[in-house]
Structure 1
Amino acid sequence: MERVTLRIPKQQIEEVEEMVELGKYPNRSEAIRSAVREMLDEQTDSQSNENRGWAKV
């Protein structure tokens, strides 16, 4: 796994930390990895729909 350094607005990181405290994610890193996976999945779905020529329902 590679380390990535990024800057996130304080309010957003506080919201991520709140999700961790609520037990939705084990830690900040996993919450951010989950968000990246979701973004990549959406991109893949979007590209698949463009290739089919019809909308996803």
Structure 2
Amino acid sequence: GNFLNPALALLGQDLRKLPIGQKLNFANHPYLCKGLNIKITIFFILVFYLPKYAI
């Protein structure tokens, strides 16, 4: 739904600030950023793995 768009936008902005984001530097490459599938993949990675590192 449309509610995913702001969430994906925020994930894109916050990804660089997170430790896991530094491991996913490939996501910052322009040719990958253009793909929605990549953002969805990052979204699921954060959903499933980030809670393990959450404070």
TM-score range, shorter chain: 0.3 to 0.5
Scaled by the length of structure 1, the TM-score of the pair is 0.32
> Which of the two has higher C-alpha Rg?
1
Identify the structure with bigger relative contact order (alpha carbons < 8 Å, sequence gap 6+): 2
Q: Which has the higher helix share?
A: 2
User: TM-score, structure 2 length as denominator?
Assistant: 0.33
